[in-house]
Amino acid sequence: MKTKLTVVKIGGNVIDDAETLKHVLQEFSQLDSPKVLIHGGGKIASELSLKMGLQPKMVDGRRITDADTLKVVTMTYGGLVNKNIVAQLQAFRCNAIGLTGADANVIPAQKRVTKEIDYGYVGDFEVDNIDVERLSFFIDGGLTPIFCALTHDQQGNLLNTNADTLASGIATTLAKFYETKLIYCFEKPGVLLDADDDNTLIRELGYLHYQQLKDDGIIHTGMIPKLDNAFAARRHGIEVGIKHALDLNKPAGTILL
């Protein structure tokens, strides 16, 4: 029988609000099973970019990452946000280790190449290329991996990688060794029919229903990559939930069918 494991992704306003983040990390530290945390930090990176005179550029919720922006996201994701999270988890007696995909060569990737848009130093990875044995070595050794949204191209370059995609990929590969659950946490109670009305929560969402909502423009922008990645993990038999970060340990939010 496989050991249970929980993969949690936090993003959005959760990371920006110190009290909310502290509460979520305390809840995360109390999870009984082995666990992995993946985080973004996009809003902080955007604020820092503006202070440095760099105008953030986004396409469909994905950041265009030129050389200067890569420096900003590396400082923000891999430094400020990641190490702050690790330090707070240590205070909650959760022995965390902060990682990028470059550390221990866990997540090699390749620079995204498209004809339509030059995303710059943005990376895509194959789930089968994640070193699940190395990752499980950390976990089985009693450490809790905390991944920021950076991978590498094995040529000396870090790559900005979508954190929702990273969470889905990590959960999928760990499902080979563990009974894996994936939880996406952000500032909303789950998937909503009306993004401005928390009372329109969809408690159960199937893929065909999602496609219809997307076609109708009800689900749009940043929720699309989140749900695309969530359903990608669900197709591998992984239990997937999307909920408010403050409800991490509660039976709440949207469950994917």
Amino acid occupying residue 82: N
Q: Tell me whether residue 105 is annotated as binding.
A: no
Rounded distance between C-alpha atoms, residue 243 and residue 253, angstroms: 4
Q: Is 41 annotated as a binding residue?
A: yes
Q: Which amino acid is at 176?
A: K
Q: Which residues pair with 185 in a beta bridge?
A: 10, 243
Gap between the Cα atoms of 133 and 117, Å rounded:
35
Per-residue CA distances from 248 to 20, 29, 190, 199 (Å): 12, 11, 11, 19
Q: Judge whether 156 is annotated as a binding position.
A: no
Residue 160 labeled ligand binder? yes
Residue 102 and residue 148 in contact, taking contact as beta carbons nearer than 8 Å: no
Specify binding-site residues for substrate.
41-42, 63, 160
Residue set of the binding site: 41-42, 63, 160
